[in-house]
Amino acid sequence: MSSKNIISIDLGANSGRAIVARVTEAGIEIDELHRFSNGPVTVHGRLYWDVLRTFEEIKESLRKYANSYEEEPLSLGLDSWGVDYGLFDKNGRLLRNPVHYRDARTEGTMEEAFEVVSREEIFAETGIQFMELNTLYQLFAQKNENPESLQSAESFLMMSDIFNYFLTGEMATEFSLATTTQLYDPVKKEWAKKLYEEFGFPLDMMGEVVEPGTKIGNLTEEVAEDVGLGKLPVIAPATHDTASAVAAIPAEGDDWAFISSGTWSLMGKEIDDPVINDDVLEANFTNEGGVAGTYRFLRNLTGLWLVQECKREWEKQGEEYSYGELTDMAREAEPFVSLVDTDYEDFQSPGDMPEKLRDFCRRTGQKPPETKGQLIRVILESLALNYNFIMEKLESLLSERIETLHIVGGGVRNKLLSQFSANALNRKVVTRPAEATAIGNALVQAIELGEIDSLAEGRNAVRNSVELETYRPEEPDVWAEAYEEFKEYKEL
């Protein structure tokens, strides 16, 4: 092993971050390089990603490296959220800003799409969970709204792939992101040609799909000169952020599940082959690509988005609270005032989240939370109970007992939610690293560079580098009783 530097850039739905990672005999060392806002922009009622602003922040990360380190980095890798995309013309120019997955254009499109191709056939071809934000329904909405825009597209790229193209001039789609589209066949490992034909999407705009760890190219001369670095190699790690996060889970053995916790909670298990059958379809689980030939068998759940939206609404009203302050209020609040289905459809779009949550309680005959502390506690308790609901389904679908839940990502900073999760699941919960996505991104680069030999060795390096936190169940009878009540609202 060497101690040379690897740059890892993780683009989240609200913010981005860049780290410098070094893989050493002792483990993994990381330095934060740059953090930046990555929120969407609304123009004439449509929600877009500001890709040029984000690209400038990516370059700023590289400038900061060039100004802070004497040693040229070994490589750069990017990861991002899934499902969103950009279309390019024959000259390689972006046709328009990519639309944000929370934009309203996909409302109602799933049912319309099922009139063209059945739900069962779509799942059999892709093995992917049904959500209106999936790329399939975004393309369907775009085709209905403006079919000429698809006909004029020469190339299609997912979000990380767009930035890799901006950096290198080379186009490719990485496997873990491709699988999130609900237009990729994970068994045949190719685009689901039948779906493209039936929906009338142009298959020829879909490019080559490459495995995690593939070198895309080097920085163009223009970018290299701009940021003050040489022709830095750009490697596609697992470019889907959850795939990179799972790569960094410091687990041993096979009896564990994971949650990648942040705006979303992605909960599941790492498996060797996709599981595609009627039971999985009914449970709305998904088979997304992972690293080292694995798949992430999971459910995509609402996460701390609910807390984020409450905080945003209170800020609009002139009341500023840190996340730590909100958690402290929740810790002191009365337990189990009410419970909500955190995946309820109305909660998925921006708006007055405190009022949406209270309205759910009123409509289900519960006492609405009155104070901010009660409201945040209702969210955290309900999230934890929802994790147990999904864990039961996960164990049933895989016919195995899961002993430990690993939670990684920014959500591990909310220790109250971690303890609630142990209580609700009545099993051990192990948390950290918080920067799992960026670390997993760097690990995949390190494997490609020969700095480490395998995913198992990389996870061992994480265990040696991070002080893990373990939570044990408390008050199991109280939480079991609350779970029985929660299931009534979950099944409405």
* Residue extents of the structural domains in the chain: 5-241, 250-432+453-492
Active site residues: 241
Domain 5-241 belongs to what architecture? 2-Layer Sandwich (3.30)
Residues 60-87 have a mean pLDDT of 97
pTM higher than 0.85, yes or no?
A: yes
The pLDDT value given to residue 370: 94
- Percentage with pLDDT > 70 across the chain: 99
d(CA 242, CA 105): 25
**Res. 253 pLDDT band, cuts 50 70 90:** confident
pLDDT in tens, 192-250: 999 999 999 999 999 999 999 999 999 999 999 999 999 999 999 999 999 999 999 99
pLDDT in tens, 416-468: 999 999 999 999 999 999 999 999 999 999 999 999 999 999 999 999 988 99
d(CA 211, CA 82): 16
d(CA 347, CA 305): 9
d(CA 101, CA 347): 14
Q: What is the largest CA-CA distance in the chain?
A: 63
Q: What tokens appear for 24 in the block?
A: 């050493």
In SS3 terms, 4-63 reads as CEEEEEEECCCEEEEEEEEEECCEEEEEEEEEEECCCEEECCEEECCHHHHHHHHHHHHH
Average pLDDT value over all residues in the chain: 95
Q: Which residues partner with 283 through β-bridges? A: none
The pLDDT value given to residue 492: 65
Residues 142-171 have a mean pLDDT of 96
Residues 178-204 have a mean pLDDT of 97
CA-to-CA dists, residue 93 to 9, 90, 165, 208, angstroms: 23, 7, 11, 18
The pLDDT value given to residue 27: 84
2 pLDDT higher than 50:
no
Using a 10 angstrom Cβ sphere, with 0-12 exposed, 13-18 middle and 19 or more buried, the burial of residue 381 is: buried
The pLDDT value given to residue 3: 53
CATH dotted code for 250-432+453-492: 3.30.420.40
C-alpha of 435 from chain center:
13
The pLDDT value given to residue 350: 86
The pLDDT value given to residue 1: 39
26 pLDDT higher than 90:
no
